Amino acid sequence: MGLLTILKKMKQKEKEVRLLMLGLDNAGKTTILKKFNGEDIDTISPTLGFNIKTLEHRGFKLNVWDVGGQKSLRSYWRNYFESTDGLIWVVDSADKRRLQDCKQELHSLLLEERLAGATLLVFANKQDLPGSLPSEEIRQALELDEIKSHHWMICGCSAVTGDNLLLGIDWIIDDIASRIFTMD
């Protein structure tokens, strides 16, 4: 039995999924995580390291890694790539000034060998703000249609109202499940 098969079998048993949540600082990663977990979101500080949460959802055990996105922390992102099943890229849809920066960071991540098999979910966050760009425009600005190497989807959402968080998470789980956990 090859290593891959063994890994597959192991994961299958526990139905464990590892999700890595990245994005520029202030995108709303920690807020999404806490909102999804039903925690208070009014007192969240910028992340100076990382948060890990293990959540049970639809019979899956989700290990969600939320790593700080400030510029000086981005070189540490690669420490968290290993065995990532799904990458959640969070965008601050109201921050038009840094969309270019956001695009570059995303595309360079997708070149990473260790993320090669991962499913990509892009959350166009902060849709509740009147000044935010709709997900369609984010999709263009980030040139998502260029991505051929990963399964991806973009989903407009709001961590403050909770809108569409479930939709996105369910999609990424389904996509990962169809790859990793064989139906038997």
Question: What single DSSP character describes residue 69?
Answer: -
Residues 68, 65: Cα–Cα separation, whole Å: 10
Residues 126, 28: Cα–Cα separation, whole Å: 8
Residues 15, 180: Cα–Cα separation, whole Å: 9
For Mg ion, which residue of 11, 22, 24, 30 counts as binding (CB under 5 A)?
30
The angle subtended at Cα 60 by Cα 58 and Cα 66, nearest 5°, is 110
Q: How far is the CB of 48 from another protein (least distance, A)?
A: 6
Residues 100, 117: Cα–Cα separation, whole Å: 25
Site membership for another protein, residue 134 (CB under 8 A)? no
Site membership for ligand GTP, residue 128 (CB under 6 A)? yes
Catalytic residue, chosen from 70, 100, 104, 140, is 70
Q: How far is the CB of 53 from ligand GTP (least distance, A)?
A: 13
The 10-29 site mask, x for binding another protein (CB under 8 A), equals ---------------xx---
The size of the interface with ligand GTP (CB under 6 A), counted in residues, is 22
Structure tokens at 47: 């992340």
Residues 89, 155: Cα–Cα separation, whole Å: 10
Q: Is 87 helix (H, G, I), strand (E, B) or coil?
A: strand
Q: How far is the CB of 67 from another protein (least distance, A)?
A: 11
Strand partners, 16: 61
159 contact choice in ligand GTP, Mg ion, another protein, none (CB below 5 to 8 Å, kind-dependent):
ligand GTP
140 in active site: no
Binding site for Mg ion (CB under 5 A): 29-30, 47
Binding site for ligand GTP (CB under 6 A): 23, 25-31, 44, 46-47, 68-70, 90, 125-126, 128-129, 158-160
